[in-house]
Structure 1
Amino acid sequence: EGVAVRETAYGRDVFLPRAGLEAFAAEHGPAAGILAYEALRVEGHRPRLGFETDHRTIPHEIGLIGSAVHLQKGCYRGQETVARVQNLGKPPRRLVFLHLDGSEVLLPAPGTPVRLAADGPEGRQLGFVTSAVRHHELGPIALALVKRNVPVDAPLVVGTTAAAQETVVEP
């Protein structure tokens, strides 16, 4: 009772109350908490609705065009924008994976500005952090939305923390 199961392309997610954790682990093996779940999600470059999305997000920006949008479907909210970007151009932003400098104690909060390292922490904002976590092997990592024209090899600064980016969505 109180257990929710979700099948995904990445495996099975089982959500259960803390009281049922011991019995579940005895039957199925060790379980992971939400912090480990989020770290694996960020490592896997998987956007989460409400975290990597805002009121302006279009599927192209976060890499959902192939898996979450049917381009031949009839009318739906935002269909004209999706079709225009698909047929004529590129989205204004793109999702990136960030390796953060591990010397900082605190993780950047969602919404923390992302800037070019060459411009320093006071430079022009090029994007913002959407999720930041501590990974058991990679250390502090994050997902961020940045402007499409940010060079893919540009070193970035998240708040005052140095960051190296990996492309999730091609510019």
Structure 2
Amino acid sequence: MKLYLAGPDVFRSDALAWADTARALCAAHGHEALVPLDGDAIDAAGIYAANVAMIRAADVVMANLMSFRGVEPDSGTAFEVGFASALGKPVIGYLPDAAVLRDRVAQGFGPLRQTEDGALDRNGQRVEDFGLPLNLMLAIAARIVVGDLSDALAALTRFVPHD
């Protein structure tokens, strides 16, 4: 299968080495990795178009949904998950731990204040509390795996039947 690798990994200082390792890992499982770093576009519109085309060409989106620059996943990755879901493509998201969103917010954003209507963050905004590890729009759209890309690949056959 063709697997689009969504996530903030493209921003790593060793992104090219990461991409080579990820491609090899996918190939070892019998799959082709489609990496957002692939292609020759250098402007924002070109990169967007190339990534959207790769998602369209993919059979599955594998999304690194780790916290990025805060307590939430990378916004580009969230878009890619939504786009893939709108196309009816399976999405497997992976996280380094199974903490629920409420705990993630409290740990990364400060103590929560409990009210009759639920928990509020330090800015007075409600914190979603469905016992899910992410906002429901991501946690329901993606099959969530605790671990890394290797763990998500191992879980792939459980979630997406293929020949």
TM range (shorter): under 0.3
Considering fraction of residues, name the structure with more helix: 2
Specify the structure having the higher radius of gyration (Cα): 1
Q: Report which of the two has the higher share of strand.
A: 1
TM-score normalised per structure 1: 0.23
TM-score by length of 2: 0.24
